Homo-oligomer: A and B are copies of this chain.
Amino acid sequence: MSDDSATPDRAGRRDVLAEAAAELVLREGLGTMGLRGLARRLGTSDRMLIYYFGSKDTLVTGVLARIGEKLSVLLQAYSVGPPVSPGAFLGQVLALGRDPVVMPFMRVWTDVIARAAAGEAPYDMVAKKVVADWTAWIGTRLIPDPDRPCPPAALLSIVEGVTLLEMACPGSTTEAGPWLAEALMRADGRAAG
């Protein structure tokens, strides 16, 4: 009776709301996720958000899942190339992070991880999955190095750190990104030796 298939319009409307909320979060950040403010920006009411999603936590996880799907679609376009060295990968990802299409995603995920670090529910659970997914994806993008295998979390840490610092102090990392990529590429050249 109360499952979605019995009321397809309801699931459809929820989907529309989730999509609109995802676009809004990508545009304005996670700071706008209060029920009343979010509802106002979406042209509905907090009452309706709870009606369709059941609770704010499921709304947040749903919206973040949708943002994740959007990003994975984007990333598939960058995964077609061959695996590369850690330094080259970092250079690619940091350049990607300056792409105005990808940048909002970086900011949202870094914000999610930052809230998870503060112990805020439900971001802590979401962050665990996100970190797992990303390390797995990074792992598939790296040339295996039997001598000194690069832990994907190492590259993820750099990307998160650069993004976080850039969000907190805009402009503070303009030189840091290129230097890091080049330093790792220098290390790449020594990886086999």
Which of A's residues lie within 8 Å of B, judged by CB? 29-31, 86, 110-111, 113-119, 124, 127-128, 131, 135, 148, 150-151, 153-154, 156-162, 164-165, 167-169, 172-173, 175-177, 179-180, 182-184, 186-187, 189-191
Contacts and interface: CB of A to CB of B under 8 A. Distances in A.
Given A127-B168, A168-B113, A169-B131, A176 B157 contact: yes
A183 B179 contact: no
Contacts of A116: 167-169
Contacts of A173: 151, 153-154, 157
Count this chain's copies in the assembly: 2
A13 to B, nearest CB: 30
A150 B180 CA distance: 9
A150 B131 contact: no
Contacts of A187: 183-184, 186-187, 190
A126 to B, nearest CB: 10
13 contacts: A114-B118, A116-B169, A117-B168, A128-B168, A131-B165, A153-B175, A153-B176, A154-B175, A158-B180, A164-B164, A183-B184, A183-B187, A186-B191
